[in-house]
Amino acid sequence: MGAAVKRIAAEVRARAVLLCGYSMGGFGALQLGSRTPELFDAIVMVAGHGLGTLEPSESESAYAAPQPESSRIFKDYLARHAPRLASVPKVIAVHAWRDKVSSYTDAEAIVDAIQARGGCAELVTVPDDMADSDLGRGKNRHRRGHCYYGYAFLRDSSEEVLYSRLREALPKVRLVAKPPARELRLMPARPQERGAGWADRGRGGPGEPSAVPADAEEGKARRGRWRRGTDAGSRAGWSRSRSPRRR
pLDDT in tens, 5-60: 989 989 998 888 999 999 999 999 999 999 999 999 999 999 999 999 998 887 66
Question: Where residue 170 falls among pLDDT bands split at 50, 70, 90?
Answer: confident
Question: Where residue 69 falls among pLDDT bands split at 50, 70, 90?
Answer: very high
User: The pTM is what?
Assistant: 0.68
* Whether pLDDT at 115 is above 80: yes
Nearest to 50 by CA among 5, 114, 1, 131: 114
Question: Where residue 182 falls among pLDDT bands split at 50, 70, 90?
Answer: low
Q: pLDDT tens digit string along 189-199?
A: 555 544 444 44
| pLDDT (average), residues 154-178 | 82
Return the bridge partners of 125, or none.
Answer: 95
Q: List Cα–Cα distances, 114 to 120, 170, 171, 240, in angstroms.
A: 7, 19, 22, 64
Contact between 58 and 65 under an 8 Å Cβ cutoff? The reply is: no
